[in-house]
Amino acid sequence: MESKIHSSLRTVEWKDNTVVMIDQTKLPNDLVYVKFTDYREIADAIRNLVVRGAPAIGVSGAFGLALEVLQSNATTKEDLLSDLEQARKVLHETRPTAVNLAWGLERIMQVAKSGKDVLNIKESVVEEAKRMADEDIQVNMRMGKYGAQLFSDNDTIMTHCNAGALATVGYGTALGVIRATKESGKKITVIATETRPVMQGSRLTVFELKHDGIDVSLIPDTAVGYAMARGLVSKVIVGADRILHTGHVYNKIGTYQIAIMAKEHKIPFYVAAPLSTFDLKSRPEDVIIEQRKASEVTTLAGKKTAPDGINVINPAFDMTPPELISGIITEIGIAKPPLEESIKKLFESKL
Ligand code: MRU
């Protein structure tokens, strides 16, 4: 059964053995849905940011494998697993930082490997991918309920990038907490940063909050210090692409400088992320930060904003260390500092 949420957008969906997604590159000007039947198209969609946000690409990767299981002509379990492995590799290589992608692909591969025969694998893989999509919404809603306790009536909440319905299957992580706070009856307003260079804040966060009737003001990334120094911000909440066992949080480029500024102004800085965003094995030096193309920085709306032939550094993510974080909200509770200890306890409580 599919979860229905009336107050937000459904980013990615399995429909009649195809995958339907909102094309996020067209937002905020056009709300366009695109349909895919081949995992290679899903890989392109992830690479080109048609779909983005850690949980959304995790489920999209799973849907990519579900398409492959239907398309494969394999007649033996071994051949089907080999086709799936080939697809897994292509999907996995699209974006290196968000761990949800590897998590989603691995969960499907495990289901496929435990299948009896070709028919059984086909059915169970499609079912599992659909279940993951529905679970994503439920997880976000649970996270929202925990997170809402941290926010008060009349809070102004700053967020960065888009960790909303558009970054997940629906409802959102950081914006899910904002939605749940509002649904609990508290009056809140949001300040969203533009999030240069891809503008997930202005194009996506502001679009979806406006769509759902949540009060939001857009600021340039450069006005974060101004807003905090003027007392315009009560709390900050962001999503995450990967969280290590030590509490190091990888998220959209610019998160780190916002966390530092929040600390300076004694403003609580929260992260909201599902357990599927935790990577308990890696160390900071193991994490690959995706570097994106220079033209994202040297052009604006198709026009050049920098001279030709210059050097550009365009990392998609940065790392915020645990000492800058006031709490990490998950679907099973909130990890508070010291984060390494509370993350350990959180995962132990799950066993
Ligand atoms: O490059 P993007 O748009 O995929 O980056 C997205 C983010 O950094 C989000 O904050 C993160 O994935 C959390 S989404 C719930």
169 CA → ligand 1 middle, Å: 13
Q: Are 277 and 99 in contact (CB under 8 A)?
A: yes
User: Band of the pLDDT at 3, cuts 50, 70, 90?
Assistant: very low
Residue that terminates a domain, selected from 86, 114, 141: 141
- Which tens digit of pLDDT belongs to each residue from 200-228? 999 999 999 999 999 999 999 999 999 99
Shared domain for 169 and 88, answered yes or no, is no
Tokens of 45: 């969609």
98 CA → ligand 1 middle, Å: 8
50 CA → ligand 1 middle, Å: 13
Residue 53 Cβ inside 6 Å of ligand 1? The answer reads yes
User: Strand (E) positions, 125-187?
Assistant: 155-159
Shared domain for 66 and 199, answered yes or no, is no
Residue 167 Cβ inside 6 Å of ligand 1? The answer reads yes
Taking alpha carbons only, the member of 173, 223, 233 closest to residue 202 is 223
Residue 161 Cβ inside 6 Å of ligand 1? The answer reads yes
What pLDDT, on a 0 to 100 scale, did the predictor assign at position 8? Answer: 62
Domain count, the chain: 2
Shared domain for 237 and 288, answered yes or no, is yes
Active site residue ranges: 241
Q: Are strands 235-238 and 269-272 parallel, antiparallel or unpaired?
A: parallel
Residue 241 Cβ inside 6 Å of ligand 1? The answer reads yes
Residue 251 Cβ inside 6 Å of ligand 1? The answer reads yes
Q: Which atom of ligand 1 is nearest to the CA of 172?
A: 15
> From CA 173, how far away is CA 143, in angstroms rounded?
7
> From CA 248, how far away is CA 324, in angstroms rounded?
10
Residue range of the domain that includes 288? 146-350
Q: Which atom of ligand 1 is nearest to the CA of 239?
A: 13
Residue that terminates a domain, selected from 102, 124, 141: 141
252 CA → ligand 1 middle, Å: 6
Q: If you write DSSP's letter for every residue of 133-167 in order, what string do you get?
A: HHHHHHHHHHHHHHHHTT--TTEEEEE-S--SGGG
Q: Which atom of ligand 1 is nearest to the CA of 252?
A: 8
In CATH, what number is assigned to the domain containing residue 66?
Answer: 1.20.120.420
In CATH, what number is assigned to the domain containing residue 300?
Answer: 3.40.50.10470
- Which tens digit of pLDDT belongs to each residue from 233-244? 999 999 999 999
- Which tens digit of pLDDT belongs to each residue from 66-112? 999 999 999 999 999 999 999 999 999 999 999 999 999 999 999 99
Maximum Cα–Cα distance for the chain, whole Å? 66
Shared domain for 101 and 163, answered yes or no, is no
The protein residue with its alpha carbon nearest to ligand 1, atom 15, reads 163
Other Cβ atoms less than 10 A from the Cβ of 292: the count is: 17
Q: Which helix (H) or strand (E) holds 235?
A: strand 235-238
Shared domain for 176 and 262, answered yes or no, is yes
Q: What is the pTM of this model?
A: 0.96
Shared domain for 231 and 134, answered yes or no, is no
> From CA 234, how far away is CA 151, in angstroms rounded?
9
Residue 316 Cβ inside 6 Å of ligand 1? The answer reads yes
